[in-house]
Amino acid sequence: MNATMPAGMKRLDLRDKKVLVTGAASGIGFACCELMGARGADVIVTDIDPEAAAQASGKLNRAGMSAQALQLDVGSRRSIATAFAGIETLDILISNAGTGARIPAADMPEEDWRRVIDINLTGGFLAAQEAARRMGTRGKGAILFVASIMGLIGGGLYPNAAYQASKGALVNLTRTLALEWADRGIRVNAVAPGFVRTPLTLGLLSDPEMEKAILASTPMGRLIEPVEVAEAAAFLVSDAASMITGVTLPIDGGWTSR
């Protein structure tokens, strides 16, 4: 973006915004970092894997963007607190890190259930809490949860109960935090992607029958690219979405409209 652009277009600009992304070294998280960095944001690339985070932020810096790496395991309250301790102010949080447990519900060990809920839901909540504390003081901020279409439907292709439950809870957490923090100038939204081509879905998509079933459920007939999720995320956290809060935007090629 540059000074010759119409004012409306500048509202997508993220210059002077500090953005923290969790699970940022790969897939959707990294695509968010790349796009937001390209739009001028100062990006804090956080990941459970510190080397992967350093590599990712190095890539952004070499491309002329402003980025730094930080280890942050959203499954650990202590790790979240430690990572945020060094951050004074924040404009945008992309709460992206997530995991699943493809185990039939009747057989699922409690520890697998708790691990998924801890990472996807509790970790997202604690990160949002830390972020909001650094936004409220400035009277403005934006939080975005990466939920899933699996938070809007029951699943059905394979068993993944803890994932579905945690993503559904994120959709409603988005609404309730939006209401609670509206008067502090903090907007809270979510994206709900369908199947995105990332390392997370590599195994699943290598099964031709599964890929066929996924494409058959996607009216637009193809998988989603990480940048297509990043485009929606970058819009929702920008000033272009200044009156949008509490919504979950499906990015699913029509899946949830069937």
Write out the residues near ligand NAI by the rule CB under 6 A. Answer: 22-23, 25-29, 47-49, 52, 72-75, 96-99, 119, 146, 148, 193, 195-196, 198-201
Closest approach, Cβ 234 to ligand NAI, in A, equals: 15
End-to-end alpha carbon distance in the chain: 37
d(CA 138, CA 141): 8
Nearest residue (CB) to ligand NAI, 86 versus 199: 199
Closest approach, Cβ 147 to ligand NAI, in A, equals: 7
Nearest residue (CB) to ligand NAI, 1 versus 200: 200
Q: Which residues lie across from 95 on neighbouring strands?
A: 145
d(CA 102, CA 159): 6
What's at 30, amino acid-wise? F
Nearest residue (CB) to ligand NAI, 141 versus 193: 193
Instruction: Exactly one of 84, 125, 145, 163 is catalytic; name it.
Output: 163
Nearest residue (CB) to ligand NAI, 1 versus 117: 117
Nearest residue (CB) to ligand NAI, 72 versus 126: 72
Closest approach, Cβ 196 to ligand NAI, in A, equals: 4
Closest approach, Cβ 60 to ligand NAI, in A, equals: 14
Closest approach, Cβ 181 to ligand NAI, in A, equals: 21
Whether 158 is catalytic is no
CB distance 253 to 216 below 8 Å: no
CA 150 to chain centre: 14
Nearest residue (CB) to ligand NAI, 46 versus 245: 46
Closest approach, Cβ 194 to ligand NAI, in A, equals: 6
Residues 6+ apart with CB under 8 A from 50: 69, 71
By annotation, the residues acting in catalysis are: 163
